[in-house]
A and B are shown apart, each in its own frame.
Chain A
């Protein structure tokens, strides 16, 4: 305890006054000799002793009240103890962090880790509480804080290795949160791991609450040696007859000695080629396999090398998709101007990442099948098709396809009501800006994915384009304006519709209303429109364990399933994701359950509810190649970092706030003053009662 104005403590000398009086009175007592105490003995005891006690109580009350007054004026404040709440004895709150990343599968590390965890559990007494937390990329508490050792051991019994990598910081954070909420005097975190350097490669901040001790238990044993397939690349080539894909695997030797390995490529369940490669110590080699014809459907592939002590990274799974082009349907009126879609089609056709497959049709010539597997539909100054085709087209848009509307001379307000309901705008009249040398595109929302690539300097200049005519647009509802003309009129408006997206462009896509098509920015602009409005996502050949699959961002995965018609995906449009272990997860592209965490290594299958097993879209999931690096981290370094942060925080807590501020925050004097007043009130009541009794 510290005092802000300790000089007031001199007032405590006043405490001596009642004590001195008391002592003086005591001195007087010694002198009275009386013939006999017989009569005094006959008087009830309380009248003598208790009166004395009451007087002593009064004295104490007065002294205590005086002390509190003085202490209040001295303005005390407490400096928080470095290890407040921590004790060297008493009940413990223990969090047992068990690393279950796939590197723990090396040798007997996993078994050793479980044995060590059981040892800690056996040391838990009835007054202690323990929590078992398994962690890899993310921590997960297997039990609540409990003293029940049977529950704890059962959690260890059913524990399994994961396919994910190691991250120490989230695990220590969770453990800190658990112990911080405990009221037990001792708080320990036991970290059982192989202490891979990769687990703390980013040097994330580690912080322990005050009074918490981190006890590392290293089960790594002797230095590990591992070889792993750390990645593959696919190159597509096209010869005169068909497209071919060449797979190149990257194989790393993370051990201290060179190793000779056999690498085998399997594609579609068939061994394509086997190659022997010698990899130097702590080095990587590329193995290029022979090209194979691009399969007609998404095909499972795997590159395997000779098994070693850690087999999780000895295989690398991937998928080869048949065609990755974005399918674009351009609908133009039968009375279209010559080359009305020329610029658009040409710009799209020269795209390679992704490639665009463009079909130009009129509403009259369209069939329902023309809408299958379309990622983007462009109404290029055309009214939407009616009837069954129109209905089917809306379904496709709702399921995730994009719609780019270029009204031009078309008046949207005259479209059928079901189409007007989709539109983010109502169209006004055509604005002619040719007299003032045309309008410019004055404002662009660079945060929008369509324009994001143009945000950097010299990445595309829209202001150089002149717009001579455009249709005025009135924004509706929750639609957003992502580009404006220089007069503030909306140039591009967008809205989401189901899983799809609808974008309206106010001017034309040829050179009649604007010279944008002849500007250099036009081609990348159209490509961006095709990519973003068409909801294109790079085809993922593999995922890493722990990644989250968001179906709304992977049209290349879902569109083949949805494009096959609602019936193929089931009446509800539900999809099923089956893990390598056989665990099934129901997902929906349009609903809220469009996310799934891919935790298992191997090949998943995404399919419609009624799709036969094996006919769905395969997804490859591999372990994090960084985890294959078994380089050891000194546990003391980890502990020191965590403890240093805790110590630094304590130091900051102690030093940053000046005493006045700390005292002001605590306001102990206020409570002391209240206490003194309370005591004085009691003293008044008591002394009045005694006075009445005396009189």
Chain B
């Protein structure tokens, strides 16, 4: 990871969660459990760990409420029936928006053992969903490309559905990883249409994690995500880039083919590397600034780095959210 690009710092002890190692685990649930359990164990020393039994507030007893939840002590003092509500009960909607476009399929290499951005994103989504599910949040997921590909509404029972959907997305991604040159040039997919549609779908405040490589102009990305933010959702944008996209380490002059559009371009990497890095750096900086201005969390992830960074960012956001409440 180049020093120029800021990422969430890894938590000590969690570096063992190497994506390339995780890739060998075929079951996403097992994978998510491995990551999240290890991560939680690592974070037990942290003072901000939330508890699902923490008291949140009282409310008046309504017919039909479980009488076991009546606060008898308060009744003794006030002679009124109050129901005692706990933190764990304020479960929120959690949804992952995963970009499954062709560009996300980039990065898989058998030689180096690296995984694609899509796989990394899927692992991340699985882990976050699993973790959220542990927190008794309602979990859902949306896969997008040009449009919404797969939509799983948030529900406390949808963990397995989400994981199956992720598994399916990965399988489809592997099958169609190669660009069909005969198709000719096509327009690159943009985030705005599917996210605008999502903003209509999400009627309840949700915590939404957008996982994408964000190959769009920062303004367009900010506008598209801003739509969701405008509805009161908490948004976290996880920007996934392969190390080669960050470093541009190619040596030989080559014809570069755009995985999204099929466009070809003759490139002599040695002459462009420096300028390319600067352009990427500007892009990331611009994205971070625009999104943070909208109070949207933004983090760049190198797909060769462990998943703990993403989890830490998630939990930090949850903590911030809890404090605000």
Q: Please give the residue numbers on chain A whose beta carbons come within 8 Å of chain B beta carbons, in ascending order.
A: 25, 28-40, 42-44, 47-49, 51-52, 55, 693-694
Contacts and interface: CB of A to CB of B under 8 A. Distances in A.
Contacts of B216: 38
A28 B251 CA distance: 11
A33 B106 contact: yes
A44 B274 CA distance: 13
Task: State the main secondary structure of chain B at its contact with A.
Answer: mixed
Given A32-B250, A47-B275, A37 B256 contact: yes
Given A32-B255, A35-B259, A40 B188 contact: no
Contacts of A48: 265-268, 271-272
Contact of A29 (B215, B253, B271, B272): B253
Contacts of A33: 106, 178-179, 256-257, 259
Contacts of B104: 35
Given A29-B255, A33-B179, A39 B283 contact: yes
**Residue among B106, B242, B253 with the most chain A CB within 10 A?**
B253
Interface string B255-283: 11111110101111011100110011001
A158 B117 CA distance: 99
Nearest to B265: A37
B252 A25 contact: yes
B271 A40 contact: no
B89 interface: no
Given A34-B106, A36-B188, A49 B266 contact: yes
B271 A35 contact: no
A40 B256 contact: yes
B213 interface: yes
Interface string B207-234: 0000001011000000000000000000
B27 interface: no
Contacts, number: 93
16 contacts: A31-B254, A33-B178, A33-B256, A34-B245, A34-B256, A34-B257, A35-B102, A35-B104, A35-B106, A35-B245, A35-B258, A38-B188, A40-B256, A43-B272, A43-B276, A48-B272
**List of 7 A-B pairs having minimum Cβ-Cβ separation, nearest first:** A29-B255, A35-B103, A36-B215, A29-B254, A32-B254, A35-B106, A37-B258
Contacts of B270: 694
A47 B275 CA distance: 9
**Residue among A25, A36, A37 with the most chain B CB within 10 A?**
A36
A325 B253 CA distance: 110
A55 B253 CA distance: 11
A29 B266 CA distance: 7
Contacts of A35: 102-104, 106, 117, 213, 215, 242, 245, 258-260
A30 B283 CA distance: 27
B272 A36 contact: no
Contacts of A38: 188, 215-216
Contacts of A47: 271-272, 275
Contacts of B260: 35-36
Contacts of B255: 29-30, 32
A512 to B, nearest CB: 117
Contacts of B250: 32
B257 A36 contact: no
Contact of A32 (B257, B263, B271): B257
Contacts of B268: 48, 51-52, 55
Contacts of B102: 35
Contacts of B280: 39
A590 B252 CA distance: 96
A280 B106 CA distance: 117
Contacts of A40: 256, 265, 267, 272, 276
B285 to A, nearest CB: 13
Nearest to B260: A36
B92 to A, nearest CB: 33
Contacts of A43: 272, 275-276, 279
Contact of A36 (B252, B258, B267, B271): B258
Contacts of B267: 40, 48
B259 A36 contact: yes
Contacts of B257: 32-34
A235 B106 CA distance: 127
A362 B168 CA distance: 154
